[in-house]
Every structure is written in C-alpha cells, then in structure tokens.
Structure 1
Amino acid sequence: MPASSGNKNRYHAIRLVIELTRTMDQLDDLLAGHFARFNLSQPKFNALMELRLAGDAGLPLSELGQRMLVSRANITGLVDRLERDGLVTREADSADRRIIRARITPRAQELLTFMLPLHNELVYRAMSFLTDDEQQVMLGLLLKLQQGWQGL
C-alpha cells in the first residue's frame, strides 16, 4: 500500500474518532438537558429503569452496579441520592440480611410513567435526521466497532 494511502486511512480514522466524540458530547448535552427537567441525570434514569424492569423484588445493590457497569462505591452514592430524592428505597434482603436491595418507589414509577413518552419522543426526534435504512446501517457499524474493539 502506498504511503499516501496509509496516511489517508489514518486521517480518516482520526477524523472518525473526533466526529464520534463530538457526536457523543452533543447527545450527552441533549440528554442532560432533558433529564434535568425531571431532576434526574443519565445514571439516575438508568438506575430507575433497571429497578423498574426488576419489578417488585428490586435488585441487590451489587447486581444493580453490575448492570450499570459501575463500582460498588459509585452505586452506593447513586442509590443514596435516589433515596434522598424519594425515588428508591433500600432494604435488607429477607433471605440474606447481608444483601441490600434497592426498590423503585411509587413516586419514581409515576415519574417514569409521565416522562417515558416524552423521553421516547425526544430520542425519536433526535434520530429522525436519519432514515430508517441509515439508522440500521449506523447501528450495524456501531455494533461492528464494539465487537472489534473487544480484541484490542
């Protein structure tokens, strides 16, 4: 391969990383503003969604942390803030008192019931600049990158 072709490929790779980063920053800003309207952050929203999906049993803090890919210290602080906001309760597990479970509160259920249609509409609008076919191609390419990066 000629040197100029290799340099062009490196340029494209660097440019792609810059644009991916810029795009993710813009998406983070968009979502942060959206969640702030509900006194939430992305991690708070993600935790509430995990707990909502878990049902009445809730989740042990260790499992919630694993699902969210965060450390024990980070999940403890996050649950502390959610508990302070009245969105989560923390209780000892009835079968093993050493295990602490987090459960979503009725207040949080009401909040999610209200905000999820608005959230889904925002996500739809944010992605509506791409056709359905473009969204499928982009999803495939992102998944291909994620799979490839596992070997690096």
Structure 2
Amino acid sequence: METRDIISLISKIREKVNRFIVAEMVKQGLDGIGTSHGDIIYALLQKHRLTMADISQRINKDKSTVTALVDKLVRLGLVTKERDQEDTRFVYVTLTEKGRELETVFEAISADMLEQFYRNISEKEQETLLSILMKINNNF
C-alpha cells in the first residue's frame, strides 16, 4: 500500500466501523436503524432539544435527508417533532422516553467499537493519529 491509498483505506475503515455499529445495534434489537439515525439520537442525547437545522449541521447531512431520517425515528417512537409556537418555520426534535433508554445501549456499542478500533494501538499512537487526522480535516 502506498501513501496515496490512504483515502481509500480511510473509506474502507469507515465502512467497516459502520457495519460493526449496525451489527451491534441489530444484536440489541435495534434492527432498521442506520448509523445516521444513531448520529441523530446521539446528538439528542447531548442536547435535549434541537431544531432540524441544528441536527443537519451536527451530523453533516442536508436538511431533506435529516427530515427523512427524523421521520423514521418518529415512526419508531424514538423522537417527537414539534413546531415552534412563535415561529412555525422551526421544528424541534426531542427524544421520547423510549429514545432516551437507548443511551446505555449506545454507550456500550461505542465502547465495544472503540476497543476494536484501537486494539493493538498504543495511547501515543492514538494521539498521533488524532493529531494527523485533525490536520487533514482542517486542510479542507
């Protein structure tokens, strides 16, 4: 493998991580929820109430995609949508009780994924990797 192959390798790693997460969610009975749905739930676990625009920005997806993702989560009973009373252009999304119950599941899946991801990689190497990837991200 050559240094020019790094982008392809990053893409392959991302795909494997996503498959790992989806497989773990299925094991937990969360069949039909993709990683983008998980990103929304995670964002709402961090901040109780978000607008669709906030979610779009946090998960780096366009608003129409976020709308479709949120609508599925509504159908699954994991989130609710509510229009702002004063400015109906704003739609707020919040987790339901059922959605909040996923926090421990998400934490466990995240811990398992990170354990797999960083297996055989020293703490110093992890810090170096993070530093390099942050530089690359900032280049764009």
Partner of 2:44: 51
Deviation of the 1:42 alpha carbon:
0.8
Point out the more displaced range, 125-134 or 13-22: 13-22
CA distance in 2, matches of 1:59, 1:116: 19
Paired-residue identity, %: 20
Contact kept? 1:35, 1:42, Cα under 8 Å: no
Partner of 1:65: 56
Larger relative contact order (Cα-Cα within 8 Å, sequence gap ≥ 6): 2
Normalising by structure 2, report the TM-score. Answer: 0.85
CA distance in 2, matches of 1:59, 1:19: 34
- Amino acid aligned to 2:112: L
Inter-CA distance 21–109: structure 2 relative to 1 (3 Å threshold) = same
Any unmatched runs of 5+ in structure 2?
none
Inter-CA distance 14–109: structure 2 relative to 1 (3 Å threshold) = same
Point out the more displaced range, 40-49 or 27-36: 27-36
Inter-CA distance 106–83: structure 2 relative to 1 (3 Å threshold) = same
SS in 1 for 2:120: coil
CA distance in 2, matches of 1:92, 1:67: 20
- Paired residue total: 136
Q: Deviations over 1:57-115 (max 9, x none)?
A: x11112211222211211110111000000000111133223211111010101223x0
Normalising by structure 1, report the TM-score. Answer: 0.79
Give the alignment's Cα RMSD to 1 decimal.
1.8
CA distance in 2, matches of 1:117, 1:53: 12
Q: Runs in 1 of length 4+ with deviation above 4 angstroms?
A: none
Deviation of the 1:53 alpha carbon:
1.7
- Amino acid aligned to 1:116: F
CA distance in 1, matches of 2:15, 2:80: 32
Determine which structure has more spread, i.e. the larger CA radius of gyration: 1
